[in-house]
Amino acid sequence: MIKKDIVIIGAGPSGMSTALHLLKIDPNWRERLVIVDKGEFPKEKICGGGITKKCLNSLRYMGFVENSISHNKVKELKIQFGDKKKIIFSEKPHFIVTRRKEFDNWLYKKCLQHGIEVHQNVRVRNISNQNERLVLNTNSDEYITKVVVGADGGNSIVRREFQFTSILNLAYAYHAIVEQNYQIKNENSAKFDFTNLKNGLQGYIWEFPVDSNKLNIGIYHSAIWKNNHLINVKNLLKKKLDSLEYDEYSIRGYPIRLFHPNNTISRKRVILVGDAAGVDSLMGEGISFSIWYGKIASYSITSAFNTNEFSFNNYKKCLLKSCIGKELVRKLFIARMIYSLPFQKMITFLFPSTKFL
């Protein structure tokens, strides 16, 4: 039996960010919390690997420096719709692209450096509420805690156990890591291709340079409008890869839970962060918002213990008032507009306008 004040389920960016931000508030938290994860580091994670400039600023607060992990700086950004409609933004780096395995492993090592316990290969089976304590039954041990942080992704067991509700469908993304070929050979250029909006895709195909030899090519479908939910997203990516003359590739997919201001993201003694709570509807961006979720969650948790009031009723209010909450709401509005059928018909005329973008 393991007793801790806080159990964070999920050792991804949002879970580890929550722990690290708690220690920024009070170093004594290291003795009072534990992170559990069903995987083992270093672990593979399906992801585009893009990290924005805003997120980098938050990461520097946690000790991130340029040489912390290998990455590519994206200095040229291409946004495309159709064969002839393309807009290029260049000069300053727009974001960096890293291997998610390396990024998560850096966060993991940072947690260990700060004395945070991370229990690996721990699969949570169920969670029960007993005498103002939460009891986690796992494959390895029993955990008793005052607060659970659900940082376990779009298919969160915490969401299922506490019957959290979501307004929007699950979005989906698929990707493949391939060698750069003669058709695509630019390690500092990234592309967002919205051409398939006209085919019902509510998203885009991306091409991110992992390094001088590898590309991360993937597709994002928000499924924000139910009428297009059954589009064959994986097949669209396959057609893209075939058109680039790739013969051998492995496509992997994952669900993305989208943010909505009416989503339930807390219960008594339970809060959700990162993908479990909901991320960017417009681009499906997860890493940046996961890091920011951790900061807001750390303040809400600290307040709960200071006041001995664990309803977390103010958690969503604090989120919506923050810069991350406002950005999530703004991106939801834009996604609903851009991925709607009327807009998909208008975009042919609007797309060439840089001012519009």
Looking at the DSSP bridge assignments, the partners of residue 320 are: none
Give me the pLDDT at residue 85, please. Answer: 61
Burial of 86 (0-12, 13-18, 19+ CB in 10 A): middle
* pLDDT tens readout for residues 194-205: 988 888 899 999
Taking residues 204-212, report their average pLDDT.
86
User: Tokens 């960017």 identify what position?
Assistant: 280
Helix (H) or strand (E) segment spanning residue 205: strand 203-209
Which residue type sits at 11? A
Taking residues 161-190, report their average pLDDT.
82
Burial 204-242 (b: 16+ CB within 10 A, else e): bbbbbbbeeebbbbbbbbbbbbeebbebebeebbbebbe
Burial of 173 (0-12, 13-18, 19+ CB in 10 A): buried
Per-residue pLDDT band for 7 (boundaries 50, 70, 90) equals very high
* pLDDT tens readout for residues 268-326: 999 999 999 999 999 998 888 999 999 999 999 999 999 999 999 999 999 999 999 99
Low-confidence winner among 59-73, 221-235, 287-301 (lowest mean pLDDT): 59-73
- What's this model's pTM, rounded to 2 decimal places? 0.90
**Among 206, 227, 215, 224, which residue's Cα sits nearest to residue 182?**
215
Residues in contact with 154: Cβ distance below 8 Å, sequence separation at least 6, in sequence order = 170, 254, 255, 256, 257, 275, 276
Q: Is the pLDDT of residue 228 over 60?
A: no
Residue 291 or 86, more confident: 291
Alpha carbons 154 and 290: distance in angstroms, whole number: 12
Give me the pLDDT at residue 297, please. Answer: 97
Taking residues 34-40, report their average pLDDT.
95
Which residue type sits at 180? Q
Give me the pLDDT at residue 354, please. Answer: 46
Structural domains in the chain, sorted by start: 2-350 (3.50.50.60)
**Among 203, 212, 208, which residue's Cα sits nearest to residue 175?**
208
Give me the pLDDT at residue 345, please. Answer: 59
Give the CA-trace dihedral at 337, 356, 75, 85, to 10 degrees: 90
Burial of 308 (0-12, 13-18, 19+ CB in 10 A): exposed
Give me the pLDDT at residue 350, please. Answer: 57
Per-residue pLDDT band for 187 (boundaries 50, 70, 90) equals low
Average pLDDT, the chain: 87
Per-residue pLDDT band for 355 (boundaries 50, 70, 90) equals very low
Per-residue pLDDT band for 84 (boundaries 50, 70, 90) equals low
Alpha carbons 214 and 216: distance in angstroms, whole number: 7
**Among 147, 124, 134, 154, which residue's Cα sits nearest to residue 36?**
124
Give me the pLDDT at residue 128, please. Answer: 93
Give me the pLDDT at residue 27, please. Answer: 95
Give me the pLDDT at residue 112, please. Answer: 95
Taking residues 322-334, report their average pLDDT.
94
Per-residue pLDDT band for 42 (boundaries 50, 70, 90) equals confident
End-to-end CA distance of the chain: give it in Å, rounded: 55
Q: Is the pLDDT of residue 161 over 60?
A: yes
Contact in structure between 175 and 218 (CB atoms under 8 Å): yes
DSSP secondary structure code for residue 136 in this structure: E
Low-confidence winner among 55-64, 230-239, 261-270 (lowest mean pLDDT): 55-64
Residue 122 or 226, more confident: 122
Which residue type sits at 106? W
